[in-house]
Every structure is written in C-alpha cells, then in structure tokens.
C-alpha cells in the first residue's frame, strides 16, 4: 500500500520534472513534424499574405520526377559514404596511435578536437583562403613547388574538385569524433590480451583483427550509425564552402528560402524523414543492445 | 649486443611515433595556424603569390579594424551570440537536470518510452524542421528576435543533454539518496544538495556542449534573423564574403575571435572532466 503511494508520488514528480523538456520537444520538434506533413500538401510561399492552395500529392510528384533531386540524393549518398568511412578509419588509426603513454598526451588530445568544436564559418574562411587559386598555400605547394597541376585548380568553382574539397573538409573536421570515442574504448582493452597474442606470434594486423576490433565493435557501430545520420543531413559545411555540390540539405534549404516554395520543401523534409526514420528503427535495434536505449 | 639493438629499435620506434604525432597535429591545426598568421600579416602580404609562413611585417591592424564598430559590427554580433548561447545553455542545463533526474532516479510508468523517445529525437536533424519552425516562429511573432534562436537552441540540445546527464546520474548510488531522505531531505533538495554537486563534471560538459551548439549555429540563425543588429557571429561573418575585395586579414582575425570562446571553453572543461562515458556523444 505504502509502496503504491510512493510510486504514485514518484510519477507526479517525474511528470513535473519532465514537463519543461517534454513540452518543448512536443512543441518544437514533434508538432513541427506534423505541420510539415500538412504543408507538404499545399502550394505555399514564404509570404504569409498569400493563401496556401491545396494541391494534393503534386509536391511529391514534382520532387520524385525532378532530376535534381535524384542527382542530389546520389551526391549525398556518395558524400556520406566517403566522409563516414574516411573519418571513422582515420579516427580509429589516430586513436590507436594515441593509445599509449607519451609526453604531452593530454594536450595533444585536446588540440586534436579543435576542428570538431570550432564554428563552421571560421574553418570555412581558413579553407577558402588556403585553397584560393591565386594566393592560397595549397596551390603554391601543388602548382609552384611540386608541380602536381599545370595551373591552379578552381577548387570551389568546379563540381568535381568542389566535391573533393567538401569530402576532405568533412573527414578533417569530423575524425576527432571517432577519435575520442575510440580512444575511450581502447583504454578499457586488457593489455594482457595483446601480450598473449604476441606470445602466439601474432602480427600487428592479427592483433588488430583478433583483439582490437571485437573490443571496439559496439562503439564502431554507434559512431558509424550516428555519423551516417548526421552526415546525410549535412547543410552548412557544404553550403558555406561551395555552391557546386548540391547535397540534399542544400536542395531542401534552397527550395524553401531561395525558391520560396515552402510546400515542396516540406515534402522534401517528409521524404527525408521517412528515410531517416527507417534507418533509426533499424539502428535502434542494434544500438540499444549496447546499453544506450 | 641483442640488448643494444632492441634499445635502438625502441628509439627508432619512438622517433617514428613522434613524427606521426607531429604530422597528425600539424594537419589538424594547420588551418588555425594560417588563421592566426594571416590575421597578423599586412593585407598586401596576405595576397602575395608566394605565401609566407610567418608575417614579414607583424601588424595588429586587422584586430583594430574588427573591433572598430564603424568598420564592422563585430562586437554587436559577439554580444548577440553570447546572449543566445549563454541563455540557451543555462536553460538547457536546468531542464536537462530535471529531466535526467526523472528518467534516471524515479520509477514510473512510461519511463522506457520517454527514454527511447529522447534517444530517437536526439538523432533527428534540425534541418528537417526548417519549414514548420519558420512558420511557427513567425506565427508566434518571434521572427527576427534572439528569443526565437534561444528557444530553438534549447530544444535542439535538450535530448542530448538529458542523455548525457542521465548516464552521469545513473552512476550515483541510490543509498546516498535514501540516507538523505532519512535525514529529511525531499527530492528537490536531493537534486540540489546531492545530485548536482556529485555530477558537476557532467553538468559542465552539458553546458559546454549546449553553448557550442548555440554558438556555432548557422542554419537557424540564417532563417530566423533578418536585420544586421540581431545577427549572431556565424551570420554576421558571412557578410564579409559579400564585400567585393576579400579582406583576408580581417576575415581571419574575426574567424579566430569567433572560434576562441568555444576553444577556450573546451580547453577549460577538459580540466574538470575525467573522460566521461558520454564525452563522445556530442552532436555535430
């Protein structure tokens, strides 16, 4: 009896404590999701004085028959794959490098995450300057010193080169996330496992395959899943660097705020949401097994 | 003899290791180095065909220009960014302490649902909400206000904040709370006198995380803010791109000053945080 009463008062307290968070999330995440679906059936401009017109599935049809959408999807998938693979492998390699005692370890570790925490705009300015075709240091090195290119490439104005740049930028910027995650788990791996493998005559690659990889697997799955989701919705990193790589984030943003078509933009959001939600449902089953659910 | 050669190979290994370490740090930090050096070069030197590593002529001119309100409203953008980030981070920390305490320490029906709800929302991208949020914010009459940005940043950071704090609270033994209850403390007092002091490093990392997300936000600021006197730094800085002649020295000085608060905050918080389990779980 007493226990029941306690549980009831617990529930009341929990509700009170959760109220601000749940209210805000409902109001500004869940409700907007629903509004998105509604808007997606209308032709609607940014101007609130122009009344929306119900057009059924027309927005969806226009997106799915738009070559730019499929192109954008392809670019985004390739970008996501290269970026996630690159930054995860690099982060893991550097975490393994760091997984030993050495002088300045703590300082080095803090310095490495600088690119990850700094504002995009600052990093973009620095990259734009470094890769400037007139006086950037990268062109000085690749053209004047090493002669890799005849003339300075226009890194931000040519689609393929711009794609290369945004991928390198993202790998450079986001590998610290994988690095920090892997370093934490590597520190928990029992040293004697490596010693035992060494006695058995294992090579460095064997040790990685037999000891390291199984130990870091849960973290690897989480890192790859979260990074894939966030990278798929990349916007400002690419948007601020170049206008030559139309990833889905930019396609959505420009449909809304450059082409003034909120209805179509909402429909894009809904399509992307469905894609995301399927990924979350699949990944949650795997991620939550590791105590994060 | 064998000893000597093994010692030698150990030294070689060490040398290779430090070369590798320097290469990693060099690649990570080079753009920051370029920012700093360009901000201290003369404008002519910044656009010379043969780039210089260090300034031939050191100057603080660009910093003077950045801080001159007649030339560039950097101080105003900085103030706006600061107001938004500080307020959003403070609110996010407070709400997430309450929320995380509820899902970590209280037993109630629907706890698992709430928990997985937070986790699902955590993976959502704000990008998908730009259309409806733009409409809702406009409808509430909050268009072109810092309040719009503050609320949005609180909501965008809440799920991760609750998530991070929950894992800290989970490590606090229930015995402590029971003892405090016997001493006559109620739940609210327990939160303030026991839970918060014991998880201060978690609270600091949540604050730093929320501050960073708000400070770095470009997307929502670009949608909600329309007049220059409301601009935060990421939006304000993009206006430097629109000037016909790139003023690189000034751009680099402004970029560095924009990055500095979060870099300092992270540097300081590292001193307090001893590698919490959720440290890597920052969204970005």
Tens digits of per-residue pLDDT, B9-25?
788 888 989 999 999 99
Of B170, B192, B166, B168, which is closest to residue B180 (Cα–Cα)? B192
| Interface probe with A: pick from B23, B31, B105, B143, most Cβ of A within 10 Å | B31
Query: Is B260 in the same domain as B182?
Result: yes
End-to-end Cα separation, chain B, in angstroms: 53
Assigned domain for B284 exists = no
Query: Is B43 in the same domain as B82?
Result: no
As a dihedral over the C-alpha atoms of residue B101, residue B107, residue B109, residue B111, rounded to 10 degrees, the angle is: 40
Count CB neighbours of A190 within 10 A.
10
Vertex B130 angle, CA B129 and B133, to 5°: 80
Instruction: Inspect the interface and report whether the beta carbons of B98 and A122 lie closer than 8 Å.
Output: no
In angstroms, what separates the C-alpha of B118 from chain A's closest C-alpha? Answer: 9
Q: How far is CA B231 from CA B155, B238, B239, B252, in A?
A: 20, 10, 10, 19
Containing structural domain, residue A75: 56-290
Helices B2-39 and A159-186, axial angle in degrees (round to 10): 130
Query: Is B60 in the same domain as B74?
Result: no
Q: What is the mean pLDDT of residues A152-174?
A: 93
Q: Dig out the tokens for B132 from the structure.
A: 């409806």
Q: Does A284 lie at the interface with B, CB-CB under 8 angstroms?
A: yes
DSSP 3-state assignment of B176?
helix
pLDDT in tens, B217-227: 999 999 999 99
Assigned domain for A14 exists = no
Of A52, A32, A34, A35, which is closest to residue A43 (Cα–Cα)? A52
Query: Is B60 in the same domain as B73?
Result: no
Contacts of A130 in chain B (CB under 8 A): 30-31, 34
Query: Is B100 in the same domain as B54?
Result: no
User: In the beta sheet, which residues pair with residue A53?
Assistant: A43
Integer Cα distance of A268 and A236 in angstroms: 18
Assigned domain for A30 exists = no
Assigned domain for A274 exists = yes
Assigned domain for A101 exists = yes
Q: Tell me phi and psi for residue A153, to 5 degrees.
A: -70, 150
| Interface probe with A: pick from B18, B156, B280, most Cβ of A within 10 Å | B280
In angstroms, what separates the C-alpha of B172 from chain A's closest C-alpha? Answer: 17
Query: Is B28 in the same domain as B140?
Result: no
Query: Is B85 in the same domain as B198?
Result: yes
pLDDT in tens, A60-97: 999 999 999 999 999 999 999 999 999 999 999 999 99
pLDDT for residue B272:
65
Assigned domain for A136 exists = yes
Count CB neighbours of A34 within 10 A.
10
Which ipTM value was assigned to this complex? Answer: 0.90
Integer Cα distance of B93 and B210 in angstroms: 8
CATH of the domain at A120: 1.10.3720.10
Domain count, chain A: 1
pLDDT for residue B282:
43
Assigned domain for A50 exists = no
Containing structural domain, residue B251: 69-272
Query: Is B128 in the same domain as B95?
Result: yes
Query: Is B140 in the same domain as B20?
Result: no
Integer Cα distance of A143 and A23 in angstroms: 57
Nearest to A135 among B47, B127, B162 (CB): B47
Instruction: Inspect the interface and report whether the beta carbons of A134 and B38 lie closer than 8 Å.
Output: no
Nearest to A25 among B115, B158, B216 (CB): B158
pLDDT at B278 over 60: no
Assigned domain for B181 exists = yes
- Enumerate the H helices of chain B as residue ranges: 2-39, 43-46, 61-66, 74-105, 111-123, 130-139, 146-169, 174-182, 187-190, 196-198, 200-216, 219-224, 233-242, 248-272
Assigned domain for B243 exists = yes
pLDDT in tens, A98-130: 988 888 888 898 899 999 999 999 999 999 999
What's the per-residue H, E or C state across B81-103?
HHHHHHHHHHHHHHHHHHHHHHH
Confidence of residue A57 (pLDDT cuts 50, 70, 90): very high
Assigned domain for A74 exists = yes
DSSP 3-state assignment of A43?
strand
Instruction: Inspect the interface and report whether the beta carbons of B234 and A10 lie closer than 8 Å.
Output: no
Q: Dig out the tokens for B23 from the structure.
A: 């290469």
Contacts of B31 in chain A (CB under 8 A): 115, 123, 126-127, 130
* Last residue in a domain, options B64, B85, B112: B64
pLDDT at A290 over 60: no
Integer Cα distance of A22 and A248 in angstroms: 29
Interface of A with B in 13-42 (CB under 8 A): 13-15, 17-18, 20-22, 24-25, 27-33, 35-36, 39
CATH of the domain at B239: 1.10.3720.10
């Amino acid at each position: 009896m007493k226990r029941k009463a306690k549980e009831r008062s617990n529930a009341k307290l929990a509700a009170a404590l959760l109220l601000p968070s749940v209210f805000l999330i409902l109001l500004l995440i869940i409700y907007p999701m629903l509004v998105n679906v509604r808007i997606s059936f209308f032709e609607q401009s940014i101007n609130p004085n122009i009344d929306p017109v119900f057009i059924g599935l027309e927005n969806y049809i226009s997106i799915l028959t738009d070559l730019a959408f499929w192109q954008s999807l392809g670019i985004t998938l390739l970008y996501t794959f290269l970026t996630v693979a690159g930054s995860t492998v690099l982060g893991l390699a550097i975490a393994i490098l760091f997984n030993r005692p050495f002088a300045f370890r703590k300082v080095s570790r803090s310095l490495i995450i600088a690119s990850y925490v700094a504002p995009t705009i600052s990093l973009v300015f620095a990259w734009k300057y470094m890769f400037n075709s007139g006086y950037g240091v990268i062109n000085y090195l690749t053209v004047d010193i090493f002669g890799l290119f005849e003339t300075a490439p226009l890194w931000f104005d040519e689609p393929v080169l711009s794609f290369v740049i945004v991928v390198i930028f993202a790998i450079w910027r986001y590998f610290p996330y994988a690095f920090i995650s892997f370093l934490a788990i590597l520190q928990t791996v029992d040293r004697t496992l490596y010693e035992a493998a060494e006695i058995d005559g294992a090579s460095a690659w064997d040790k990685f395959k037999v000891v390291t990889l199984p130990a870091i697997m849960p973290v690897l799955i989480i890192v790859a899943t979260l990074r894939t989701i966030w990278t798929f919705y990349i916007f400002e990193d690419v948007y601020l660097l170049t206008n030559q790589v139309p990833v889905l984030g930019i396609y959505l943003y420009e449909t809304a705020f450059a082409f003034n078509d909120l209805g179509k933009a909402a429909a894009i959001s809904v399509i992307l949401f469905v894609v995301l939600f399927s990924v979350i449902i699949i990944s949650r089953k795997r991620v939550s097994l590791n105590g994060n659910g | 003899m064998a000893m000597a050669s093994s010692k030698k190979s150990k030294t070689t290994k060490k040398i290779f290791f430090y070369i590798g370490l320097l290469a990693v740090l060099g690649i990570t930090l080079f753009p920051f180095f370029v920012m700093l050096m360009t901000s201290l070069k003369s404008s002519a030197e910044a656009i010379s065909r043969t780039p210089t590593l260090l300034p031939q002529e050191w100057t603080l001119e660009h910093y003077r220009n950045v801080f001159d309100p007649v030339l560039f409203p950097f101080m105003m953008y900085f103030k706006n960014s600061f107001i938004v980030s500080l307020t959003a981070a403070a609110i996010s920390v407070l709400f997430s302490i309450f929320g995380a305490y509820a899902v970590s320490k209280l037993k109630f029906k629907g706890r698992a649902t709430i928990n997985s709800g937070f986790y699902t929302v955590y993976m959502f991208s704000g990008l998908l909400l730009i259309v409806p949020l733009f409409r809702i914010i406009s409808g509430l009459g909050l268009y072109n206000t810092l309040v719009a940005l503050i609320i949005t940043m609180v909501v965008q950071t809440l799920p991760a904040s609750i998530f991070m704090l929950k894992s800290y609270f989970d490590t606090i033994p229930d015995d402590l709370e029971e003892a405090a209850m016997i001493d006559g403390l109620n739940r609210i007092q327990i939160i303030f006198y026991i839970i918060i002091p014991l998880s201060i490093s978690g609270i600091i990392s949540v604050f730093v995380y929320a501050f960073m997300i708000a400070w770095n936000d470009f997307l929502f600021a670009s949608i909600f803010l329309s007049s220059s006197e409301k601009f935060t730094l990421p939006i304000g800085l993009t206006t430097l791109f629109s000037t016909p002649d790139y003023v690189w020295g000034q751009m680099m000085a402004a970029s560095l000053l924009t990055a500095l608060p979060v870099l300092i905050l992270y540097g300081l918080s590292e001193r307090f945080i001893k590698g919490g389990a959720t440290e890597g779980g920052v969204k970005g």
